[in-house]
Amino acid sequence: MQKGKHIKVGIGFATGRRSFQKVLRTTIHNWKESGLVENKRISLNLFVAYDLNYNKTKTTDYTNIHPELVEQIDSSKFIGSVSLKEEIDYLTRENVIDMNEARMIFGRGYAAKRNAVLYNAIKNKMDYLIFLDDDEYPMAVTNTRRTTIWGGQHVLLDHLEYISQADITHGHHCGYISPIPYMEFNDTMTEEDFRSFIEAISNDIINWDTLKTVMKNGGVTYADTKILTSDEATEVQETNHAKFISGANLCINLTDSRRIFPFYNPPGARGEDTFLSTCLSERKVLRVPCYTFHDGFSTYNDLLEGVLPIRLKFIKADTELITTRFYKACIGWIRYKPLLLYITQPDRYEEKIKEMREQLIETLPKICAYFGQPDFIKVLAELDKYHKNVKKHHREFLETQRIWAKIMEHFAHRQEVDQSL
């Protein structure tokens, strides 16, 4: 953390859940407990891009923050459709970008919400922006004893310790990170069948051996005590043309807007953090020693009330809710896999797609039978669709960066003018 300087920190949420207010309350109390609220050198500023359609919520589900919490932050900015239109009008009026270009950056999808948060933080002259998720909590859980052991995490404080030395910092995740439930293999679907399926649809950072351990733990990823007791950040090395990061527990250095990239995902897909990862070859990325607990199945809201379970539930593929979540994750993965391969392995792209198709043709009938869910067969059609459109999506990916660079140049120039006055 920089000494003797007033630091403006943005805290960003791209959210659509009713539980947002609970998570925000816990997070702000966490800042207070870590000394950040009382620190006069640090300004805490909230940026919330909300989606009313995701869970049929209303604006006040996000904006109606308790006055006691409002007093503990320096400002808050809520980004809905009206607010976003005002910013688009400003950019077009200033001849920075046109309306079609604005739609590329701030259109639909999760990447667009993240871009809206990132843009507003830069426009409001934040030094740093940390992205937090509305289903992640500032705590870590280990299973080094007969029962689980919980520990608080000073997530924002840890990022501020390192972000001035890097372009991006990102932390670790524990809890229910993986959407893959605990499963007992049988003649319908063997372990080798499932391994082949997962390797076909997933990206480079999903290692089967790690995933197998998580599955045996009932779908739970436990925190590593070596990381919890470490004071050192580690530099993220490039793997297959990407420095892999996570979308939350993620901090971006905004002090030079020309060094910042936008988020992008193909229509209807996720992977915005993965695609950002492919842009970071010439950026310094640090992994900081802090965890957040990911409540991926929304079963541990009581953690926010101080209830710490001594054992975490196994997430088994025995309910429609769990199966549907896994199915949606598979669709999300397969929709962005072609573009990821096209960017990171262009010379082997056609070969890899052919290999994926063969794996899916072999394993999908077994997946459908095992889960009793015939919709899984649609994964192959989604692969074919996104493979067919991969060049179009790649053009959009590059175009998004080009448009974003114009916006960043505008703010960099404005900052230079302000400094010269």
pLDDT in tens, 46-101: 999 998 887 788 999 999 999 999 999 999 999 999 999 999 999 999 999 999 99
Pairing mode of beta strands 234-235, 285-294 = antiparallel
Per-residue pLDDT, averaged over 5-13, amounts to: 92
C-alpha closest to that of 280 among 323, 330, 235: 235
276-300: per-residue pLDDT in tens? 999 999 999 999 999 999 998 778 8
The whole-angstrom separation of Cα 347 and Cα 223 is 37
Helix (H, G, I), strand (E, B) or coil at 151: strand
Q: Which of 27-31, 76-80, 206-210 has the lowest mean pLDDT?
A: 206-210
Per-residue pLDDT, averaged over 35-54, amounts to: 93
The whole-angstrom separation of Cα 218 and Cα 315 is 5
* For residue 209, pLDDT beyond 80: no
* For residue 416, pLDDT beyond 90: no
Query: What are the CA-CA distances from residue 202 to residues 110, 271, 345 (Å)?
Result: 19, 11, 15
| Contact predicate 82/116, CB 8 Å | no
Mean pLDDT score of the chain, rounded to an integer? 92
The whole-angstrom separation of Cα 74 and Cα 61 is 20
Token code pair at residue 166: 């890097």
pLDDT in the model for residue 8: 97
Per-residue pLDDT, averaged over 384-400, amounts to: 98
b vs e for 366-389, b when ≥16 Cβ sit within 10 Å of the residue's Cβ? bbbebbebeebebbbebbeebbeb
- Indicate if the alpha-carbon torsion angle 373, 204, 111, 166 is positive or negative: positive
Q: How far is CA 244 from the centre of its chain?
A: 11
pLDDT in the model for residue 206: 67
204: confidence class by pLDDT, cuts 50, 70, 90: low
> What share of the chain has pLDDT > 70, as a percent?
97
Name residue 235's beta-bridge partners: 286
In order of their start, the domains of the chain are 7-182+218-313 (3.90.550)
The whole-angstrom separation of Cα 219 and Cα 221 is 7
Pairing mode of beta strands 285-294, 136-137 = antiparallel
Q: What residues contact 335, with CB distance under 8 A and at least 6 apart?
A: 266, 268, 269, 270, 271, 382, 386
C-alpha closest to that of 416 among 78, 125, 205: 125
Per-residue pLDDT, averaged over 8-18, amounts to: 93
* For residue 2, pLDDT beyond 70: no
Run of H or E residues at 364: helix 349-371
Per-residue pLDDT, averaged over 206-233, amounts to: 86
* For residue 203, pLDDT beyond 80: no
Q: Which long-range contacts (CB under 8 A, 24 or more apart) does 318-322 make?
A: 321/297, 322/181, 322/297
114-155: per-residue pLDDT in tens? 999 999 999 999 999 999 999 999 999 999 888 999 999 999
b vs e for 66-89, b when ≥16 Cβ sit within 10 Å of the residue's Cβ? eeebeeebeebbbbbeeebeebbe
What is the greatest pairwise CA distance in the chain?
74
pLDDT in the model for residue 144: 84
